[in-house]
Structure 1
Amino acid sequence: MTQESARTPHGSDSTGRGQSGDAPGFTRAQVEALFLDAAREGEAELLGRFLGAGMAPDLRTDKGYTPLILATYNGHLEAARVLLAHGADVNAQDEKGATALAGVAFKGDLALARLLLESGAGVDVANAVGRTPLMFAVMFGREDMARLLLAAGADPHRRDGEGLNAIELARRQGGAALAQVLEQQSDKA
Structure 2
Amino acid sequence: MSNAPTIEWRDYDAPLLSPILQAALDNFVKGGFHGTSIRQLAGAAGLSVPGLYHHFASKHAILAEIDNLAMEDLWQRSVAALDDGDQAPLARFDRLIECLLLFHAHQSDLAFIAFSEIRSLQGQHREAHIAARDRQQKLLDEVVEQCVADGSFSTEFPRDASRAITTICTGVSQWYRSDGELTPADLAERYGVICAHAAGLPVK
Same fold (TM over 0.5): no
Larger radius of gyration: 1
- Normalised TM-score (structure 1): 0.28
- Normalised TM-score (structure 2): 0.26
More helix by share: 2
